[in-house]
């Protein structure tokens, strides 16, 4: 996935990811296992990221690898706010605005200090229920943040 224009093909691929990466249930232990998997993947790549998993207003997992800062925490909050508002990945929301020839910041009419449609936050969607939370990464370029979360979800859900 590019961080560029947000083509129709890219939007379809992002939608397909969200349709495929759905949970039957998601609890505290799942958050621990998924968060730990993300930390492990980041360490294997030498990636300085912060990982967060939220269910509703509750933070279930948070870990900051060496080389990150409080700025990453602020990005996580803003990306997760986009998932909560749109019930879609933050990358998909940003791509949709780019596909229309604009940006989220220019056209959403939302406070950019509270919302960031940059890649890295992905909805935790329960089959038959809908979006109940978000899993997010901050520290890499947005397409890489998104790809890391998707890879972890794919491994978690098929493992």
Answer yes or no: is 3 within a domain: no
- Counted domains in the chain: 1
Answer yes or no: is 119 within a domain: yes
pLDDT number for residue 30: 98
User: How does pLDDT run across 129-158, given as a tens digit for each residue?
Assistant: 999 999 999 999 999 999 999 999 999 999
The whole-angstrom separation of Cα 60 and Cα 68 is 19
Q: 10 Å Cβ neighbour count for 34?
A: 24
Q: Which residues lie below 8 Å from residue 87, measured CB to CB, with a gap of 6+?
A: 123, 125, 130, 131
Answer yes or no: is 123 within a domain: yes
Tell me the whole-structure pTM to 2 decimals.
0.93
- Domain containing residue 125: 8-158
Give the helix/strand (H/E) hosting 87.
none
Residue 108 is part of a domain; what is its CATH number? 3.30.450.150
Under the banding of pLDDT at 50, 70 and 90, the label for residue 7 is confident
Strand order of the β-sheet with 121-126 is 58-64, 50-55, 130-138, 121-126
């Amino acid at each position: 996935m590019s961080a560029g224009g947000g083509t129709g093909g890219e939007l379809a691929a992002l939608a397909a990811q969200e349709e495929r990466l759905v949970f039957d249930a998601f609890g505290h232990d799942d958050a621990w296992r998924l968060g730990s998997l993300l930390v492990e993947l980041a360490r294997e790549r030498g990636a300085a990221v912060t990982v967060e998993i939220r269910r509703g207003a509750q933070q279930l997992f948070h870990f900051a690898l060496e080389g990150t800062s409080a700025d990453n925490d602020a990005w996580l909050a803003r990306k997760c706010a986009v998932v909560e508002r749109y019930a879609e990945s933050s990358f998909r929301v940003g791509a949709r605005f780019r596909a229309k020839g604009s940006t989220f910041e220019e056209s959403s009419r939302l406070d950019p200090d509270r919302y960031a449609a940059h890649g890295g936050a992905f909805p935790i969607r329960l089959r038959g229920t809908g979006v109940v939370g978000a899993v997010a990464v901050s520290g890499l370029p947005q397409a890489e943040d998104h790809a890391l979360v998707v890879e972890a979800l794919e491994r978690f859900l098929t493992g």
